[in-house]
Amino acid sequence: MPEPIDKFRDITLSVVMPVYNEIATIEEILRRVRAVPIPKEIIVVDDGSTDGTRDILRGVAARDEARVIFMRENRGKGAALRAGLERVTGDIIIIQDADLEYYPDEYPQMIDLIVEGKADVVYGSRFLGRHRAYLFWHYMGNLFINFVANLLYNTTLTDLETCYKAFRREVLDGIRLCSNSFGFEPEFTARVFQRDLRVYEVPISYAGRSYEEGKKITWRDGFVALYWLLWCKFFGFDINREMLARMGMVSHYSRWISGRVLPFLGEKVLEIGSSVGNITRHLLGPRQVIASDKSSKMVDTLRMHFVEGEKLRIVQYDVAGPPPETLRDADIDTIVAINVLEHVENDNAALRNMRGILRPGGRAVLVVPAFATFYCRLDKNLGHYRRYNKLSFLRNVRAAGYTVRYCKYLNMLGALGWLVNGKILGRRMMPKQQMRLFNKLAWMLKLERHIGPPFGLSLLVVAEKGEP
């Protein structure tokens, strides 16, 4: 491979190539892909070829020019792509067809915005770039499919059906793709826009081929695309994403819960699990804040929403693992972890890791979901391992080396809604109407400062780092 381009020297690109009966082009397209000066792995998935392509690919595998997966039978492009995506190890993934319609030497412009941290997904648009004049009815079909997708998902995409889609590997986290056919394109696109990812389009060159030259997609696949766009929108929604989106509706609650923790903050604060920054924005002020999240995607999102400077740093950190020296040496006097510990399998280890970051006498401000008996499908869909009983949680906090200084239940109103929807009605999600109503009634939570609620949806604990 030629000397890597400096900008891309420190990343690895995973090229996933589904193949079905491409004996005329497979060797040339692999040559072009290998020639791109970016560190890469090439994963080729032969989807049951019968024209001799498999024999060529056996030679490719023997020469270690690519990883080759042989499907037992032809199952479709979507199935082949899933098989390849399950095996990627690179930082960025790009999909490459095995014909010669697309130009691998345009990979740099496809991944540039991702490397710069500005995009999660990049589509290479055939209609914005140079392209061969080709098949009028295919063009009209593409326009119609794009129109429907833009209408359903409130976007402005020009080329949903393009092969060239580049994306960060983390984009696949939590996405369950089902289509075995060309329906992969609309299904993947629907999932991307449902998750509010940062999507860009860049112009690419395109040399469309005719059916005589081997083109496989037909007018029937247009109906397949419509099916997947509609199914993902109205029936096959992503429960976890939808739950998080609905929890994001309660902006007044975020302001209120931030107000409850502000009196306990010191001068240098580390926020664990900052996500998109709903709490972070309320912590900023006279103090120094370090916002952190285990997801690199969320870290990039934070950097899009906030400007780092003297009062704010943004770092990637998973509290399930030991803290890096940069955090241990940061002289942190307060750690804030709001609705974090329930997402960590070994929460006791997480408590000890937090303690290792705090300076002597520092405090951890913890908000966790209360009452183990409240655990239900709502918790499961949010990725909660557990809910907490007050006495057992305080015992665990003390065992991790803390002295408990404050403990109160929070959010009586929310506890009632959770109990009815989750335990009594067995719902998978909180209804949108109720979330909007709760947000409007969040002002009532201010009364809790005066009445000392005997129960609540959450537990607020302030714990001080004790002696070793």
Whether residue 322 is found in the same domain as residue 232: no
**What pLDDT shows up at residue 139?**
75
Six token digits for residue 343: 């997402």
Return d(Cα 47, Cα 168) in angstroms, integer.
25
- 66: in domain: yes
Return d(Cα 137, Cα 219) in angstroms, integer.
9
Q: 47-77, pLDDT tens digit by residue? A: 999 999 999 999 999 999 999 999 989 999 9
At which of 237, 264, 287 does a domain end?
A: 237
Q: Report the share of the chain in percent with pLDDT over 90.
A: 57
- 364: in domain: yes
Comparing 298 with 151, the larger pLDDT belongs to 151
Handedness of CA 196, 202, 203, 207 (dihedral sign): negative
- 162: in domain: yes
- 1: in domain: no
Closest to 337 in 3D by CA, of 447, 458, 195, 441: 458
Whether residue 247 is found in the same domain as residue 227: no
- 394: in domain: yes
Those residues whose C-beta lies under 8 Å from the C-beta of residue 185, and which sit 6 or more positions away, are 160, 161, 162, 225
Return d(Cα 40, Cα 174) in angstroms, integer.
24
Query: Tell me, what CATH number does 422's domain have?
Result: 3.40.50.150
| Alpha-helical runs (H) found in 8-76 | 26-35, 53-62
DSSP bridge partners of 145: none
Six token digits for residue 372: 């183990």
Whether residue 110 is found in the same domain as residue 162: yes
Whether residue 147 is found in the same domain as residue 271: no
E strands along 131-170, which residues?
Answer: 165-168
At which of 188, 208, 237 does a domain end?
A: 237
* Confidence band, pLDDT 50/70/90 cuts, at residue 305: confident
DSSP reduced 3-state for 402: strand
- The CA-atom distances, in angstroms, between 56 and each of 37, 68, 216 are 24, 11, 21
Whether residue 310 is found in the same domain as residue 232: no
94 DSSP 8-state letter: E
Number of domains in the chain: 2
* Order of all β-strands in the sheet with 13-19: 67-70, 40-46, 13-19, 92-95, 165-168, 121-125, 199-203
Average confidence (pLDDT) over 130-136: 67
Comparing 315 with 239, the larger pLDDT belongs to 315
Whether residue 224 is found in the same domain as residue 253: no
- 405: in domain: yes
DSSP reduced 3-state for 62: helix
Host H or E run for residue 458 = strand 458-465
At which of 204, 237, 270 does a domain end?
A: 237
Q: 269-294, pLDDT tens digit by residue? A: 999 999 888 899 999 989 999 999 99
**What pLDDT shows up at residue 390?**
96
**Residue with tokens 């540039």, as numbered in its chain:** 112
Q: Which domain holds residue 200?
A: 6-237
Whether residue 251 is found in the same domain as residue 292: yes
Please work out, in degrees rounded to the nearest 5, the angle formed at the alpha carbon of residue 56 by the alpha carbons of 53 and 58. Answer: 110
Whether residue 49 is found in the same domain as residue 184: yes
**What pLDDT shows up at residue 222?**
72
End-to-end CA distance of the chain, in Å? 54
- The CA-atom distances, in angstroms, between 78 and each of 49, 111, 149, 176, 202 are 15, 22, 19, 12, 23
Whether residue 77 is found in the same domain as residue 152: yes
